[in-house]
Amino acid sequence: MTYDVKQEVTDKYSLRGRVFHKLREDILSGKYEDHEELKEVAIGEEMGVSRTPVREAFRQLELEGLIQIIPNKGAYVTGITPKDVKDIYMIRSLLEGLCARWATANITEEQMEEMEENVYLARFHAQKGHLEQMAELDNRFHEILYEACNSKILEHQLKDFHQYVIRVRRKTLANANRGPKSNEEHSQIMEAIKAGDADKAEQLANRHILNAYENMVQSGLYEAYQKEDAKTEK
């Protein structure tokens, strides 16, 4: 199946597309609790649309595994499970490595300059203890990397994965130790790309994502996530 960028852009501006993207963002950001019911009428009124685009958005959300539609009952949030989080990090580690490899060959001068500025600013905010700014800069670093790989398919896939675990990532980056370490890893990836060393860039980017996951496990966030998920299933 080919990836159609124009179709995605058009979809985002259709009624169904707008409802789908807003609901997905709300689910992933934690606005809705796991197993909470999503009501067509209430969402339609909130977004100023009829029930039809809401119902169509529900079907797409179910295909992505974010909600479950139970006939004659309703639509319920399933969210992201601990296993989903682990799977995403493992897959993402491989794709980020590939992305860094391709970025080594395709990054533009402007993208490299923005990447260097990003690392510099993140280091500055780390010294000041500005965790919110560090989280924003961390997100932007990965966006620059995705754009630099010069593959719309890979960029789209990685941005989706990035969005799926954004709640967990915000918590890990709030860790006083992980934030500066993450930025130092960004700096090493950037230097490898700048030096044209695709093998090293790939290895470092792959390790960077694995480090992020291992930090989440060691900090107890993964265990807390498992307990929360188990509690909602009872």
Last residue of a domain, one of 58, 77, 96: 77
Least confidently predicted of 9-13, 20-24, 143-147: 9-13
The total number of structural domains that make up the chain = 2
Residues 109 and 211 in one domain: yes
Residue environment code for 38-63, b if the CB has 16+ CB neighbours within 10 A, otherwise e: bebeebbeebebeeebbbbbbebbee
In which residue are the tokens 């999503």 written? 38
Question: 75 in helix, strand or coil?
Answer: strand
Residues 6+ apart with CB under 8 A from 15: 49, 53
DSSP code of residue 54: H
DSSP annotation of 196 reads T
Same domain, 120 and 215: yes
Predicted pLDDT of residue 72: 86
Question: Which has more confidence, 221 or 209?
Answer: 209
pLDDT per residue as tens digits for the range 48-61: 999 899 999 999 88
CATH assignment of the domain containing 111: 1.20.120.530
Only one residue has tokens 């909470």, namely 36
Burial environment of residue 205 by CB neighbours within 10 A (0 to 12, 13 to 18, 19 or more)? buried
User: How would residue 135 be classed by pLDDT, with cut points 50, 70 and 90?
Assistant: confident
pLDDT value at residue 169: 63
Q: How far is residue 164's CA from residue 169's CA, in Å, rounded to a whole number? A: 10
204 occurs within a structural domain? yes
What pLDDT does residue 130 have? Answer: 84
Residue 104: the pLDDT is 98
* Residue 181 pLDDT > 80: yes
Last residue of a domain, one of 77, 94, 125: 77
In a domain, 232, yes or no: no
The pLDDT value recorded for residue 172 is 58
Judge if 132 and 207 occupy the same domain: yes
Give the domain extent around 19: 5-77
Token pair recorded at residue 26: 């709300």
Half-sphere exposure of 47 (CA within 13 A, CB side): 25
**Selected residue with higher pLDDT from 122 and 163:** 122
**Residue 138 and residue 44 share a domain:** no
pLDDT of residue 30: 74
Asked if the structure places residue 220 within a domain, the reply is yes
Residues 91, 145, single domain; the answer is yes
Same domain for 214 and 129: yes
pLDDT band at 27 (very low <50, low <70, confident <90, very high): confident
Same domain, 214 and 164: yes
Confidence band of 13 (pLDDT split at 50, 70, 90)? low
